[in-house]
Amino acid sequence: MKHSQKLPDDEVRFISAMSPELIPGRLRALWEAGWSLGVIAKSLKPVRPKSTVHFWVKNAANQEQTRTIPSPPAKSLTSSAPLASSPRMRSISPEVPLDMVAHIGQLAELSKRYRSKTPSSSPLAQANRELTEIALDLYHRGVPAASIAQAAGVTYRAMARRIANG
């Protein structure tokens, strides 16, 4: 069972003894050193909401620290969370293949003229169905709806609606 992490007791006493206008700068330094906002918030006396600590940290100016910042405890390698010292990586979403962009644009132009009373065998209805199938396929492969919409030359909302109703 995990035990809850907290700041060292001497650090909590140091923060409690600080003047109120210096506390946000110290909390920002702790956060930049790798302490999570939740741990900082739970360690304060009195305990503060994490959103309050987040506000303080984001709005605090960088100030020179006269006392060393304690390092957060290292996480075990079996933990599913990333190490605090490792940079956060953003996954890269796949994009619409370049060879499909022109075709999607053409289908979108035809689909704009499609109406519910259009015969199902008409080129407009076929283009509308094909665009929906391509959009759903790309979306299920991880391509963001915004990228598909950009390729089609339509708004994000229009493509999101097409995907949701497809």
pLDDT tens digits, one per residue of 33-53: 888 999 999 988 888 899 999
pLDDT tens digits, one per residue of 71-112: 887 764 444 444 445 566 666 778 999 999 999 999 999 999
- Domains of the chain, by residue range, sit at 9-59, 98-165
pLDDT tens digits, one per residue of 120-161: 999 999 999 999 999 999 999 999 999 999 999 999 999 999
> What is the pTM (predicted TM-score) of this model?
0.47
Q: What is the pLDDT of residue 1?
A: 40
Conformational region of residue 142, where left means phi above 0, alpha means psi within -120 to 50, and beta covers everything else: left
Q: How far is Cα 162 from Cα 23, in angstroms, rounded to an integer? A: 50
